[in-house]
Amino acid sequence: MFADLDDADLVVRARDGEDVEAFAELVHRHRDRAYRVALRITRHPGDAEDVAQEALVRAWRSLPGFRGDARFSTWLYRIVTNLALNRVERRPRVADVELPDTAVRSDDPAARTEDAERLTAALAALEQLSPDQRACYVLREIEGLSYEELAEVLETSVPAVKSRLFRARQELTAALARYDAVGREEAGT
């Protein structure tokens, strides 16, 4: 029914609150991404589910005030990111997320183990970033937002976004270099 409509058309239909099904289509299109962003920032599945749900409820309630200056997805990312950062600030240390089996793609058991260990190290390094750096990194490198979209979502400037990303990449690179050095020492190379 809504397949031929883009997000902007759905927003217009849902904005007055009378076309609930148009908003349901927006939720259908964006809920998984909202959850993934929340999970990557909070690092806790329960918190991520709560954040994603609360973000969608807030989006529904705030939809009449949405001017459409940005894409709906960018606006929703802002809501999700702010809620997730608030959640992280209230809970500074959270339990690790279980890694899905699909994260490691080799059939060789030794390679699978090594890949899983390196992925665990990368996730641990990601968790050590400041919440702002982690949000910036997740939204840029994983979700693919532009610098301009990031600045809008995080309510900051493009230079601030670039600075946060630079520091996040430096810290992640250094953490993985330390992990790789320890791995080479243990292997005797």
Residues 163 and 140 placed together within one structural domain of the fold:
yes
pLDDT band per the 50, 70, 90 thresholds, residue 92: very low
Q: Look up the CATH number of the domain holding residue 92.
A: 1.10.1740.10
Distance between CA atoms of 95 and 55, rounded to whole angstroms?
A: 22
* pLDDT exceeds 80 at position 120: no
* 152 CB-contact burial (10 Å; exposed 0-12 / middle 13-18 / buried 19+): buried
* pLDDT exceeds 90 at position 186: no
Residues 34 and 120 placed together within one structural domain of the fold:
no
* pLDDT exceeds 70 at position 111: no
Last residue of a domain, one of 54, 69, 98: 98
SS3 track for the chain: CCCCCCHHHHHHHHHCCCCHHHHHHHHHHHHHHHHHHHHHHHCCHHHHHHHHHHHHHHHHHHHHHCCCCCCHHHHHHHHHHHHHHHHHHHCCCCCCCCCCHHHCCCCCHHHHHHHHHHHHHHHHHHHHCCHHHHHHHHHHHHCCCCHHHHHHHHCCCHHHHHHHHHHHHHHHHHHHHHHHHHHHHHHCC
* pLDDT exceeds 90 at position 16: no
pLDDT tens digits for 44-78? 899 999 999 999 999 999 998 888 888 899 999 99
Number of structural domains the chain divides into: 2
* pLDDT exceeds 80 at position 183: no
Residues 144 and 93 placed together within one structural domain of the fold:
no
Last residue of a domain, one of 72, 98, 124: 98
Q: What is the pLDDT of residue 32?
A: 94
* Domain assignment of residue 118, given as a range: 103-189
Last residue of a domain, one of 81, 98, 115: 98
